Amino acid sequence: MPLVRERRGHVELVVIDREKAANSIDLETARALAEAFDSLEREGEVRAVVIGGAGDRVFCAGMDLAAVRAGEADAINSVPGGFGGIVRRDFPLPLVAAVNGAALGGGFEIVLACDLVVAAEHATFGLPEVKRGLLAASGGLVRLSRRVAPAVAFELALTGEVIGSARARELGLVNRVVARGSALEEAVRLAEQIAQNGPLAVRRSKQLLAAALQSGEAELWELSGKLASEVLSSEDALEGMAAFAEKRSPRWSGR
């Protein structure tokens, strides 16, 4: 299997396991990722997801060139959720990238589809497609200017420059930088911290934050009222307030 999955409490780990192929995405891997994210959308016990790559050299090198030469590019991009099963998916759960090395091209586009990013100190990021006469068409050009200042987005996209984890953190692309070999465990800790909170409140908070990047203020206030009303009337809201008053840990139901 090109994918390793592991459940840790309410956190699911999804690791691309093609280290010898730089954790690149071929058709088998694309289908496995799509199936994993499909199942996680239906899985009621999972509250946060961590995606990583095997080894400590490459997070994901993008699409497997051997698969491209074999004529599989369209099929790889056409799996549910788009490239990597995630770049075109409206995924409801918090998604944390554990970047253990190079995240270039499609690999960086997978990172940009995540909500939070933990990077090893030697990790690198970039959209080098223009250097090859190509377009970063799996969300990189769509999302980059929402994550960094427009001038920086233009520079990274048009030069194909590769940056390190320290610079990525300065730009707001990375939440935490950790020692080599620690990215996955730190990403799990971050996901576990999220998973301790009210599941419905977390999902709706993510939904509203995502909408804020795309919508006008009037639409946001309307959506905010709708989502706030749903969360406030939920079982979790009552449980959260009761647990606070009773000085105990809340028992979330996700309803």
16-30, 86-100, 180-194, 228-242: least confident range: 228-242
Residues 122 and 158 in one domain: yes
CB 48 within 8 A of CB 93: yes
Average pLDDT over residues 193-208: 95
Catalytic residue among 19, 45, 72, 109: 109
Residues 98 and 149 in one domain: yes
- CA 195 to each of CA 134, 200, 205: distance values in angstroms, whole numbers, following the listed order: 39, 11, 13
Residues 237 and 170 in one domain: no
How much is the pLDDT for 72?
92
- Look up 192 and say whether it is catalytic: no
Residue 3 in this model has a pLDDT that exceeds 80: yes
Say if 9 falls within a structural domain: yes
Residue 106 in this model has a pLDDT that exceeds 80: yes
Range of the domain at 206: 199-245
Say if 250 falls within a structural domain: no
How much is the pLDDT for 227?
83
Say if 210 falls within a structural domain: yes
181: Cβ contacts below 8 Å, ≥ 6 apart? 56, 100, 120
Query: Model confidence over 52-88: pLDDT tens digits?
Result: 999 999 999 999 989 988 999 999 999 999 999 999 9
Say if 251 falls within a structural domain: no
Residues 178 and 204 in one domain: no
Residue 217 in this model has a pLDDT that exceeds 70: no
Catalytic residue among 129, 170, 185, 246: 129
Average pLDDT over residues 5-31: 97
- Look up 239 and say whether it is catalytic: no
> Model-level pTM?
0.90
pLDDT-based confidence at residue 215 (cuts at 50, 70, 90): confident
